[in-house]
Structure 1
């Protein structure tokens, strides 16, 4: 098993393997990665079994990216939206929604289930954002 590419977004670390499989993990599960600077995140190397960040002393195994227990645990609407549109910035959506960013991330990762009112609130914020973008 060999990795071909590694990249990050606001909340996840993604990997593409040579066989074309793509996996991702929530960065908040790895505090060293979550709190790392951009230059620290980019200073990694692929090993035979995973990824190594010397400067922050962190290792992730390739297998972990594809383990069932590390995949989304929820089919709630908020989770689906953020997995469908990974370019959404969790922290900024949380700020606009006046929701704690950690709580929003827990909805996305399936560790907490949002109420119908909360789902409507987040969806309304995203619709307003879409309307603002259309005016550009």
Structure 2
């Protein structure tokens, strides 16, 4: 599959394939593209395997348009939407390997319901601690 045309709408990158399908994926996976100007987004090079933005140092493979989850969900969506929350620090608070949290965020691994609840509860606990900060 080859992408023949790309465009951006509502924090998504869309691609028209050589067989006529329209595929998309969330720009949450590509922060540099999300925050790029239209001018920066339009300066790309197509190759046999994907799309490259030299100025942004960003690459999107054609293959990635066919991944099962074009939009992050659960803790992946939370951490990608809130980069101000340090995922490594949350992992340390829970005694979970930082690389495992990173795999959950990237979508390479899926946490069990129990593990996801544990992580989200720790984030809520952090939120409560921040709400109680006094000067």
TM interval, short-chain normalised: 0.5 to 0.7
Contact 1:76–1:113 (Cα < 8 Å) also in 2: no
SS state of the match for residue 83, structure 2? coil
Give the distance between the partners of 1:88 and 1:119, measured in 2 at CA.
Answer: 16
1:100 aligns with 2:119: no
- Give the match for residue 69 of structure 1: 64
What does the per-residue CA deviation read over 1:14-33, in whole Å, with 9 as the maximum and x for residues that have no partner?
Answer: 354331777xxxxxxxxxxx
1:50 aligns with 2:54: yes
Alignment of 1:24-63 (within 5 A): 50-51=54-55, 60=57, 62=58
TM-aligned CA deviation for residue 82 of structure 1? 0.6
Give the distance between the partners of 2:105 and 2:68, measured in 1 at CA.
Answer: 8
Aligned residues: 91
Give the distance between the partners of 1:20 and 1:89, measured in 2 at CA.
Answer: 31
TM-aligned CA deviation for residue 114 of structure 1? 0.3
Alignment of 1:80-99 (within 5 A): 80-99=77-96
What TM-score, normalized by structure 1, do the two folds share?
0.53
Structure 1 vs Structure 2 CA RMSD: 3.4
Structure 1 residue runs of 4+, over 2 Å off?
Answer: 12-18, 65-68, 70-76
What does the per-residue CA deviation read over 1:33-79, in whole Å, with 9 as the maximum and x for residues that have no partner?
Answer: xxxxxxxxxxxxxxxx5159xxxxxxx4x4x1586628894644110
Change (3 A) 1:109 1:120: same
What 5-or-longer segments of structure 2 have no aligned partner?
1-29, 42-52
What TM-score, normalized by structure 2, do the two folds share?
0.54
Q: 1:109 aligns with which of 88, 96, 106?
A: 106
- Give the match for residue 19 of structure 1: 38
